[in-house]
Structure 1
Amino acid sequence: MAARASAPRWLRALLSSATGWFGVIVVVLLALTAVVSLFWMPFDPMLSDIRGRWATPSWPHLLGTDGTGRDILSLLMAGARTTVFVAVGSGIVATIVGILLAALGALTARWMRETVAVLVDILIAFPVLMIAMMISAVWGGSLWVVVFSVGIGFGVSIARVTRPELRRVQQSDFVVAGRASGLTNGQNLIRHLLPNVAPVFIVQLSWSMAVAVLAEAGLSYLGFGASLTESSWGLLLADLQRYIGVHPLTVVWPGLAITITVLGLNLLGDALREATDPTLSRRAAQVHLPEAIA
Structure 2
Amino acid sequence: MTPLWLRRLWQTATGRFGLIVVAVIAVTAIVSSFWTPFDPQSSDIGDRWLPPSWPHLLGTDDTGRDILSLIMAGSRTAVFVSVGAGIVATVIGIALAALGALTTRWVRETVAVFVDILIAFPVLLIAMMISSVWGGSLWVVIWAVGIGFGVNIARVTRPELRRVQQSDFVLAAKASGLTPAQSLVRHLLPNVAPVFIVQLSWSMAVAVLAEAGLSYLGFGASVVEPSWGILLADLQRYIGVHPLSVIWPGLTITFTVLALNLLGDGLREATDPTLRHRAAETHIPAVVA
Both structures adopt the same fold (TM-score exceeding 0.5): yes
Aligned partner of 1:159 in structure 2 is: 154
**CA apart distance, 1:288:** 3.1
Does residue 96 of the first structure (1) align with residue 88 of the second (2)? no
**CA apart distance, 1:9:** 2.5
- Pairing 1:247-258 to 2, within 5 Å after superposition: 247-258=242-253
**CA apart distance, 1:149:** 1.0
**CA apart distance, 1:290:** 4.0
- The structure 1 residue matched to 2:172, chosen from 169, 177, 184, is 177
Instruction: Provide TM-score, normalisation by structure 2.
Output: 0.97
- The structure 1 residue matched to 2:45, chosen from 46, 50, 75, is 50
Structure 1's unaligned 5+ residue stretches are: none
1: CA distance, partners of 2:286 / 2:19: 31
**3-state SS of 1:95 partner:** helix
Structure 2's unaligned 5+ residue stretches are: none
Does residue 202 of the first structure (1) align with residue 207 of the second (2)? no
**1:179-219 Cα shifts (integer Å, max 9, x gaps):** 00110110000000000000000011001111111000000
**CA apart distance, 1:8:** 2.8
Identity of aligned residues (%): 78
Aligned partner of 1:188 in structure 2 is: 183
Aligned partner of 2:54 in structure 1 is: 59
- The structure 2 residue matched to 1:125, chosen from 112, 120, 125, is 120
**1:23-59 Cα shifts (integer Å, max 9, x gaps):** 0001100000000001110111000101111111111
Q: Which amino acid aligns with 1:133?
A: M
**1:94-137 Cα shifts (integer Å, max 9, x gaps):** 00000000000000000000000000000000001001001101
Aligned partner of 1:22 in structure 2 is: 17
2: CA distance, partners of 1:258 / 1:291: 45
**1:196-255 Cα shifts (integer Å, max 9, x gaps):** 000000011001111111000000000000000100000000000000000000000000
2: CA distance, partners of 1:125 / 1:284: 36
Cα RMSD for the two superposed structures: 1.1
**3-state SS of 1:64 partner:** coil
2: CA distance, partners of 1:285 / 1:126: 41
Does residue 79 of the first structure (1) align with residue 71 of the second (2)? no
2: CA distance, partners of 1:58 / 1:166: 55
**3-state SS of 1:202 partner:** helix
- The structure 2 residue matched to 1:114, chosen from 74, 94, 109, is 109
Q: Which amino acid aligns with 2:103?
A: T
2: CA distance, partners of 1:248 / 1:287: 48
2: CA distance, partners of 1:21 / 1:286: 24
Instruction: Provide TM-score, normalisation by structure 1.
Output: 0.96
1: CA distance, partners of 2:18 / 2:165: 32
**1:61-88 Cα shifts (integer Å, max 9, x gaps):** 1111100111100000000000000000
**3-state SS of 2:36 partner:** coil
Q: Which amino acid aligns with 1:143?
A: L
**CA apart distance, 1:274:** 0.8
Does residue 259 of the first structure (1) align with residue 254 of the second (2)? yes
1: CA distance, partners of 2:154 / 2:111: 10
Count of residues paired in the alignment: 287
Does residue 150 of the first structure (1) align with residue 145 of the second (2)? yes
Q: Which amino acid aligns with 2:252?
A: A
Aligned partner of 1:246 in structure 2 is: 241
2: CA distance, partners of 1:65 / 1:191: 53
Q: Which amino acid aligns with 1:89?
A: G
Task: Compare 58-67 and 98-107 and name the one that shifted more.
Answer: 58-67
